[in-house]
Amino acid sequence: MTNTETIQSLIDSGEGYNVEFKVRIPSKVWELTEEICAFANADGGYLLIGVDDYGQIIGTDLENDKRSAIQGS
């Protein structure tokens, strides 16, 4: 399965124990790190940014400062 097929399969399955959709990166980066830590403390998971609660791919425009903050956390 390609990455595109894998991502589409996750979206088609919907949110659940190990899949979380986020329309955008939260304004407070620590909110995002909490989600990541929760997956790390469980069985792992997928955080799909740019996908709404209905599984629609919205996309996102990630600003450089947020990208740097995420990479540094």
What pLDDT does 73 receive?
A: 58
Domain count for the chain: 1
Which residue from 37, 36, 64 is spatially nearest to 49, judged by alpha carbons? 36
Residue range(s) defining the domain that contains residue 64: 3-72
pTM of the predicted protein model: 0.76
More confident residue, 73 or 64: 64
For residue 47, pLDDT over 70 is answered with yes
Share of the chain above pLDDT 90, in %: 45
Give CA 15 to chain center in angstroms: 11
The structure tokens listed for 13 are 């399955």
Looking at residue 49, its amino acid is I
Distances (CA, A) of 50 to 41, 42, 60: 24, 23, 5
Q: Are 47 and 22 in contact (CB under 8 A)?
A: yes
